[in-house]
Amino acid sequence: MEDLLKNQLFATHAIAATTSVTLGTALTYPLDTIKVLVQVGSGPGKQLTPAQVLDRVRSLSGNAGSN
């Protein structure tokens, strides 16, 4: 294991893999949350409007940044 950690190519690939997973998760998690909100709020004959989706996101995220 110590040989692997001393290998610069291995360390570079490990850092790149960690960065890609972190970035991918950070970018897709909010989209998945919005998708779930739309699925939960919609019914067979009822579709949420974009304004309703934004209102739900705002209500769940709280009033961060408001005075």
d(CA 63, CA 67): 9
- Using DSSP's 3-state secondary structure scheme, residue 46 falls into strand
Residue 63: pLDDT band (50, 70, 90) is low
Per-residue model confidence (pLDDT) at position 19: 97
Residue 30 lies in a domain: yes
Find the mean pLDDT for residues 23-41.
88
Work out how many domains the chain is built from and give that number: 1
Residue 16 lies in a domain: yes
Residue 43 lies in a domain: yes
Per-residue model confidence (pLDDT) at position 27: 93
Find the mean pLDDT for residues 40-49.
82
Which residues on neighbouring strands pair with residue 43, listed in sequence order? 46
d(CA 14, CA 9): 9
Residue 42 lies in a domain: yes
Domain extent, residue 54, equals: 2-61
Query: 15-19, 34-38, 59-63: which range is least confident on average?
Result: 59-63
Residue 67 lies in a domain: no
Residue 15 lies in a domain: yes
The answer to whether 56 and 37 are in contact (CB under 8 A) is yes
pLDDT over 70 at 59, yes or no: yes
